[in-house]
Structure 1
C-alpha cells in the first residue's frame, strides 16, 4: 500500500468533485437551438431567393441572424456534485459551492433566473426550470443548501429554496399522476 504524499493531497483538493447529476433536458434544448437557427436561415434565404433578391450580402445577413438566434437560444449545461453546482454556457462557465451558499434569490428580468452566491464570492445564474425538470439535480442542490442553512452561511434565500421545492414537488406529483393514468 502506498503512502499519501502532500502533493497527492493537494492534487485531490484542487480537483473538483465529479458531477453526479446532469440536466437531462439539455440535449433536446441544444438540438432545438440548432434547429430553430437553421430553420430561420433557410426560410429567410428561400424567401429572398423566391423574390429573386438574394445576394451574397443578404445571405451573409441571414446567416448572421441565424447565428445570433443560435447564441441566444443555446442553453447552459447545468451539472451538480456534492458541494458544487456548475453552469456552462457558450462562452463562460460559472460554479458555486452549494454547501457554502450565502444567498439564493430570484433575478429581476424578462427570463426568470435563480442567482446563487457562495461564501467565496462565486456566482451562478440558472434557469429554475432546470431544477424542476431534474429531480436528481435538485436533490444534490437541496441537500447542500440545507447544509448551508445548518452552518449558518445562508443569509437570504430560504424562501426561494422553498418555492423551488414546491415546484419540484408539484411536477413530481403531476408526473406520478400522468404515469398512473390519474390525470
Structure 2
C-alpha cells in the first residue's frame, strides 16, 4: 500500500511573534519623530548645522536601537530571539532552567543543556499562543526527561497569568465583563 502525502507526518511550522512588525514600525516612528522634532527646533532657532544634524541622527538611531523589539520565533523543540546584532536560541526539550528577571521590564530567562540562553518578554508568549504552545511542549519534554532542574514554578506562574489574561480578553470581547 502506497503512502500519500496526507499520510506523512509533517513537522509543525515555526511560529513567529505576530506583533513584531507593528512594534518595529512603532520604534521607527518614534525615532523618526524625535529626529524631525530636533531638526525642526534647530531650524527654527537658526542653529541647524551639519554636525548638529549628525548628532541628532545618532541620537535617533540610539533610540531606535533601544526600542527595536527582538523577533521571537519557535518551532518543534527550539525557541529563538533575534535582536539587532545576533540571534540566540535554546532547545526547549533540553531546558535546564527557567528564570524570571524583574527590573524595568520583566524578562523570562531560558537556559538549555547546550549552554543556550534566551531572554524574552513574557508578554510575547501571552500575545502569541503558538509560541506559548511550542515553549510549554518543549518544557514538558524537558521535565519528563529530567533536564529541567529549576523553573517549573516559574512556568506554572506564567501559565496562570497567561490563562487569566486570555480569560479576561474573552470576557471583554464578549461583553461579559
Q: TM above 0.5, one fold?
A: yes
Whole-Å Cα distance in 2 between the matches of residues 27 and 159 of structure 1? Answer: 32
Q: When the two structures are superposed, what TM-score results if normalisation uses the length of structure 2?
A: 0.90
User: Paired residue for 2:128?
Assistant: 134
* 1:117 and 2:114 correspond: no
* 1:173 and 2:167 correspond: yes
User: Paired residue for 1:67?
Assistant: 61
Whole-Å Cα distance in 2 between the matches of residues 164 and 30 of structure 1? Answer: 25
What RMSD in Å do the two structures reach over aligned CA positions?
Answer: 1.3
Whole-Å Cα distance in 2 between the matches of residues 24 and 87 of structure 1? Answer: 14
Whole-Å Cα distance in 2 between the matches of residues 89 and 112 of structure 1? Answer: 17
Secondary structure of the 2:109 match is strand
Q: Deviations over 1:38-65 (max 9, x none)?
A: 0000001101111111111111111000
Q: When the two structures are superposed, what TM-score results if normalisation uses the length of structure 1?
A: 0.87
User: Paired residue for 1:24?
Assistant: 18
Moved over 6 A (4+): none
Note the 1:52-131 alignment, pairs <5 A. Answer: 52-131=46-125
Q: Deviations over 1:148-181 (max 9, x none)?
A: 1111100000111012101210121012112211
Give the unaligned 5+ runs of structure 1. Answer: 1-16
Whole-Å Cα distance in 2 between the matches of residues 168 and 107 of structure 1? Answer: 17
Alignment equivalent of 2:45, drawn from 42, 48, 51: 51
Give the unaligned 5+ runs of structure 2. Answer: 1-10
* 1:160 and 2:158 correspond: no
Query: Do 1:135 and 1:168's aligned partners in 2 also have CA atoms closer than 8 Å?
Result: no
Q: CA 1:135–1:106 in 2, change beyond 3 Å: closer, same or farther?
A: same
